[in-house]
Amino acid sequence: AQSVAQPEDQVNVAEGNPLTVKCTYSVSGNPYLFWYVQYPNRGLQFLLKYITGDNLVKGSYGFEAEFNKSQTSFHLKKPSALVSDSALYFCAVRERGGFKTIFGAGTRLFVKA
Amino acid sequence: EAQVTQNPRYLITVTGKKLTVTCSQNMNHEYMSWYRQDPGLGLRQIYYSMNVEVTDKGDVPEGYKVSRKEKRNFPLILESPSPNQTSLYFCASSLDGRTANTEAFFGQGTRLTVV
């Protein structure tokens, strides 16, 4: 069965430190991979996506993600965290040629000043 | 401004009373979708629509109906709501459903409580 795993319910990091939010997936073929962020009382906002090519994808607000095909992972990273990055982050996967999108359970990021 | 608009934002209803949550997008997107968000489960897809008059079930379609009579609108219908449908609902749209132009734009969400 297709699935997306975000193994950490919460990630805590100090402001200015690098952050990583993990995502692994089990989807056939070479899927499209996405990261979204959700701020309180808001809908999800697109951060970045992987389609093909370079394994390091750059997105909005200084975020980037590293695709690793052998580990079927797509971890979200930022070199220097900000307090304003505190939010709920979702990894999502869509099979190429398919119409369904599968979301992970979400990881809450807490950045302490 | 490009946006996906859902209404209402908050709704409390009683078991069995039919309700509709509206969703409208102004970006001429072909693909629209409904999700429910529950703690610890993330977002689960309820129904999606590839274009006008074309819809299909997602992972949790039971108890829900949708229609796509116009490109911009994609209402979610609960014919006989039950307490297990208490959730946060999101509508989303994207340019199309299959190509790389598939990042989604989300509405603000509808918090539904069924008592």
Report the largest interatomic distance among the alpha carbons of chain A, rounded to a whole angstrom. Answer: 43
What is the pLDDT averaged over residues B69-92?
97
What is the pLDDT averaged over residues B75-91?
97
User: pLDDT value at position A100?
Assistant: 84
Exposed (0-12), middle (13-18) or buried (19+): which is B100, by Cβ within 10 Å? middle
Using an 8 Å CB-CB cutoff, list chain A residues near B48. 99-100
Using an 8 Å CB-CB cutoff, list chain A residues near B4. 43
Amino acid at A9: D
Cβ <8 Å between B100 and A42? no
**Which of B4, B43, B98 is the closest to A99 by Cβ?**
B98
Mean pLDDT rounded to a whole number for chain B = 93
What is the pLDDT averaged over residues B37-58?
92
**DSSP letters along A38-99, please?**
E-TTS-EEEEEEE-SS-SEEE-GGG-EEEEETTTTEEEEEESS--GGG-EEEEEEEE-TT--
CB atoms within 10 A of CB A61: 12
Cβ <8 Å between A101 and B42? no
pLDDT at residue B52 greater than cutoff 80: yes
* pLDDT tens per residue across all 113 residues of chain A: 789 999 999 999 999 999 999 999 998 888 899 999 999 888 899 999 998 888 999 999 999 999 999 999 999 999 999 999 999 999 999 888 778 889 999 999 999 99
Using an 8 Å CB-CB cutoff, list chain B residues near A4. 42
What is the pLDDT averaged over residues B78-102?
88
User: pLDDT value at position B101?
Assistant: 66
Which of B10, B1, B18, B5 has its CA nearest to residue B74?
B5
Q: Which CA distances in Å does A48 have to A55, A62, A77, A97, B95?
A: 13, 10, 11, 19, 16
Residue B8: asked if its preceding bond is cis (omega within 30°), the reply is yes
A11: its two tokens: 């990630």
Tell me which of A99, A102, A103 to substitute to probe the interface with B (most B C-beta atoms closer than 10 Å).
A99
Residue A46 at interface with chain B, using a CB cutoff of 8 Å: yes
Cβ <8 Å between A99 and B43? no
Q: Is residue A91 within 8 Å of A67, Cβ to Cβ?
A: no
Q: Which residue of chain B is at minimal alpha-carbon distance from A47?
A: B103
User: pLDDT value at position B8?
Assistant: 97
Cβ <8 Å between B59 and A100? yes
Closest-CA distance of chain A to residue B62, Å: 16
B89: its two tokens: 């609902």
Tell me which of B5, B24, B106 to substitute to probe the interface with A (most A C-beta atoms closer than 10 Å).
B106
